Chain A
């Protein structure tokens, strides 16, 4: 297998030829565009002339996939290798002179009816079913509070409003820096104490409660603390101009 630095040097060539990895390896050549699996099936069906398809860049893309993919799936890798070896063998039979004729395949490729146009009506029907189904509402599975816990009121705010508040503040978060693995972590109870100290009688957005530069983990942790305070009835939430705002409970009776 080629070392990583050698593969890096062929990177430009690979992209120049239109080969993109990791898998499913996409092949783009003057006479064929599609995945490696599709090329394999088309060659087996003799619908593509391999003389028009350079194989070296595909092999390079495969090697890059093996080296660079964080979690290589061995089954997937084996399938790609099988397809590649078949293509190489077929191309060798085409290019190299031989007195013997190319042997016929023992079994033909198992092909399915091509193209999606056969499914067009089915897709439209499924769309129609989906729309009708969305007019029915069922008791949600694995949702709702613990049966032994009295549900807490969120007033005019919904979980979706809370989710949007988190999304907004996450969008402003800084990227996570590299950290030593044994970094001490703040407990949720401690975070709740800090959050409670920040809350007062003013209605403020989550982003206003998080001052200074913060990371995504800080935003999520603060949000969890806020949710726990809401659950315990120590924080209040309401929606203003489509955005969730928070204050300390009890100070603002109209939460």
Chain B
């Protein structure tokens, strides 16, 4: 793997403000998908060894971010305004994540309480979105999670969601309780 390709991918990732899919990177760099993935691996190891930036797999793509050991200083510098999700919003979000696509009435049935506030809050935060209509009387809106949801929780995809106690999960893939960005 030429170092030029690794440097080029680093440059492309540097200017990306969203997770870049390997296919996008391969097209932009004029590489094959295999070469791209190999170069990304080399880049990841290089960044891991030195510097304040790391390469992570998140929301179906790759993105550069700061290393966690600098979190306090970076946060002090950026002064980010973060609003922790409330308990009720987190409940609604978890239900949507595991049962999507799901209607508001079905969410209420699971929670046993009105969930409009939580749903609207999550829609505003772009953590859930309308994904269609259920073919039942009234054609209620169906909700599902977004790429922003994956990014917010640092997940690569829905298969990284932990199993529920009853064994059900967000999809049929193999499940494990993930540690964020554990080494590939």
Q: Are B99 and A112 in contact (CB under 8 A)?
A: yes
Q: Across the interface, which residues of A come within 8 angstroms of B114, CB to CB? A: 24, 26, 35
Q: Across the interface, which residues of A come within 8 angstroms of B98, CB to CB? A: 119, 122
Q: Across the interface, which residues of B come within 8 angstroms of A76, CB to CB? A: 138, 140
A31 smallest CB distance to B (angstroms): 15
Q: B128 interface residue, CB < 8 Å from A?
A: no
Q: A118 interface residue, CB < 8 Å from B?
A: yes
Q: B139 interface residue, CB < 8 Å from A?
A: yes
Cα distance A151–B105 when bound, in Å?
Answer: 48
Q: Are B109 and A41 in contact (CB under 8 A)?
A: yes
Q: Are A121 and B112 in contact (CB under 8 A)?
A: no
B10 smallest CB distance to A (angstroms): 13
Q: Are A78 and B79 in contact (CB under 8 A)?
A: no
Interface string of B101-126 (1 = CB under 8 A from A): 01011101111111010000000000
Q: B68 interface residue, CB < 8 Å from A?
A: yes
Q: Are A125 and B177 in contact (CB under 8 A)?
A: yes
Selecting from A51-59, A95-103, A126-134, A213-221, the interface stretch reads A126-134
Q: Across the interface, which residues of A come within 8 angstroms of B154, CB to CB? A: 129, 132-133, 136
Given contacts A114-B110, A129-B155, A136-B71, contact A82 B137 (CB under 8 A): yes
Q: Are A114 and B108 in contact (CB under 8 A)?
A: no
Q: A252 interface residue, CB < 8 Å from B?
A: no
Q: A233 interface residue, CB < 8 Å from B?
A: no
Q: A140 interface residue, CB < 8 Å from B?
A: yes
Q: Across the interface, which residues of A come within 8 angstroms of B177, CB to CB? A: 125
The SS class assigned to the B binding surface is mixed
Q: Are A121 and B162 in contact (CB under 8 A)?
A: yes
Cα distance A121–B106 when bound, in Å?
Answer: 20
Q: Which of A22-62 contact B (CB under 8 A)?
A: 24, 26, 34-35, 37-38, 41
Q: Across the interface, which residues of B come within 8 angstroms of A17, CB to CB? A: none
Q: Are A133 and B16 in contact (CB under 8 A)?
A: no
Q: Across the interface, which residues of B come within 8 angstroms of A121, CB to CB? A: 162, 164-165
Q: B172 interface residue, CB < 8 Å from A?
A: no
Q: B11 interface residue, CB < 8 Å from A?
A: no
Q: Across the interface, which residues of A come within 8 angstroms of B31, CB to CB? A: none
Closest to B155 in A: A129
Cα distance A78–B162 when bound, in Å?
Answer: 37
Q: Are B84 and A119 in contact (CB under 8 A)?
A: no
Q: Are B85 and A75 in contact (CB under 8 A)?
A: no
Cα distance A121–B162 when bound, in Å?
Answer: 8
Given contacts A111-B109, A119-B95, A160-B79, contact A126 B153 (CB under 8 A): yes
B70 smallest CB distance to A (angstroms): 8
Q: Which residues of B contact A (CB under 8 A)?
A: 14, 16-18, 56, 63-66, 68, 71, 74-75, 78-82, 84-85, 90-91, 93-95, 97-99, 102, 104-106, 108-114, 116, 133, 137-141, 152-155, 161-162, 164-166, 168, 177-178, 180
9 contacts between A and B (CB under 8 A): A112-B109, A121-B164, A122-B164, A126-B90, A129-B154, A130-B153, A133-B153, A137-B74, A139-B14
Q: Which residues of A contact B (CB under 8 A)?
A: 24, 26, 34-35, 37-38, 41, 75-76, 78-79, 82, 111-116, 118-119, 121-123, 125-127, 129-130, 132-143, 158, 160, 163
